[in-house]
Amino acid sequence: MDTLEKGRSISEISNINTSQVLIIGAGLSGLEAARLLREKGIKTIILEARNRTGGRIWSVRSKTGHMFDTGATWIHGIYGSIPNGLLSNPLWDLTQEAKIPTRGTDIYDIHVGYPFDGNISETYNWYNEYLSFTKEETRMSSPNISLAYYADLYVKQKNLTDKQQHAFYSYLAFTIKFNEGAELNAIGAKNFLSLSSSHYGDEHIFHKTGFMALTDYLARDVDDIRFNQIITKITYTDKMVEVRTRNGEIYQSSFVLLTVPLGVLKAKEIEFTPQLPQWKLDAIDRIGYGFFEKVFLVWEQAWWNSTNFYFMGMSSNPNNVRYWVNANKWNDKPVLIYFLAGQADFPTRLKENHDELIEELRRNLQEMFPDFVVPPPVETFVTHWNEDPFSYGSYSYISVNQTYEDSLFLSEPIQDRLLFAGEATSIDSYGYAHGALLSARREVTRLLYGYELLPIKNITTSQSILITPLTILFIIQFIFLSFFYY
């Protein structure tokens, strides 16, 4: 009897669900893995803790009929490493295949509000100089030095005035803090510049359908998704994996692909037997996991000048930069979206009285647009990803404590049975939806060609016998000894 079955009652054994590959999580990576395996005839079951697919991709229809992308929002660059060339972002390819309409956005399409009255192009030049300066400074330095340290060093060497510093630090927050979901002093400079991937072209947005149109498209080709399945324990050997859920369900599979967010692994709410190796636990602890929330404000009509896509309010405090997205620019809806990023904004800002938070944001807008009258919004919506028990945050970033190898360690299988996918396991596309997509394709490739996974219905008697060099040597020795004996 297998080790997993010792001491188990007959009723338990009869209630076990089996599959060739068990996938934990019905987000982008889990759905893509199931879809690709189905194409090869591999039986999968997806267990999802929520009552929906999508994971951290969640499009919500508001009371006034607007579509809010509360999680992932952009395709970050439609081209890959060859701008306008042969290689494109795989997320963009999938969007084109699904024929989902999108609209391009431009990061430089920005309105800079009070109190800055300088030239934004000058600030952009400082930003590029800073990146080049930091890259040179980090070539021979420790990886545990933050981006904030080098920003202070650059400002000192550049001898920027107070107003110029406010503009520079605010632009850093706009371009880095709100991308990474973390303050500059939490991000490791050396690994950030070494591991961050580049994507080019417009950053497209799902202006009509919401991002979930893409995960819904993937889910159409998945046969077996089971919702409200909260994983409590995973037991693995070198032969199989067993998964138990909070409601008492038991699943056994040859392989398990774990795609839960890094925040769930950090919370240690899943018990592993045996415990995960220390190198895996250390990687989970060291990789950064950021906070990124949105506040949606809806009006009956746009009161602002909607020629710019982004609104940014400069601040003397880099942790108090006001960053807005003008949804009216992409979907002709009178909606502004306010972003909060990094632990400096958590948890107190989002646990304030809801009405006070909205009124504070209205005052911020009034300061940025003194020539307009900012009326109260007719509808609001606030996300709470950092309190969500199935994510505990938004997405990963390169922390000051992180080693160069940690993303690789996080993606490494355990005993060739327990596999890991998701944006945090992507070495150079962490934090991005296309990183989650690519991680799924990586693990499916591993299953099909590294572990030679075959569809059950296609396995013949001859295929079920593993012929190894050692087996061949044994057969030859047996024939030789038999001949010698007789």
Q: Decide if 335 contacts 328 (C-beta within 8 A).
A: yes
Whole-angstrom CA distances from 194 to 136, 252, 334, 404, 424 are 12, 40, 40, 9, 16
Q: Decide if 291 contacts 342 (C-beta within 8 A).
A: yes
Q: Decide if 147 contacts 189 (C-beta within 8 A).
A: yes
- 283 marked as binding residue: no
**Residues 6+ away with beta carbon under 8 Å from 371:** none
* Alpha-carbon gap, residue 173 to 123, rounded angstroms: 12
- 311 marked as binding residue: no
Q: How many CB atoms lie within 10 A of CB 316?
A: 12
Q: Decide if 324 contacts 310 (C-beta within 8 A).
A: yes
**Residues 6+ away with beta carbon under 8 Å from 285:** 266
Query: What angle do helix axes 147-158 and 162-172 make, rounded to 10 degrees?
Result: 150
Token output for 11: 């009723």
CB environment 245-268: b (16+ within 10 A), e (fewer): beeebbbbbbbbbbbbbbbbbeee
* Alpha-carbon gap, residue 273 to 233, rounded angstroms: 8
- 49 marked as binding residue: yes
Parallel, antiparallel, or unpaired for β 379-382 and 395-397? unpaired
- 48 marked as binding residue: yes
**Residues 6+ away with beta carbon under 8 Å from 31:** 46, 53, 215, 218, 219, 222
* Alpha-carbon gap, residue 38 to 20, rounded angstroms: 11
Binding site residues, as ranges?
A: 29, 48-49, 339
Binding site residues for substrate, as ranges?
A: 339
Binding site residues for FAD, as ranges?
A: 29, 48-49
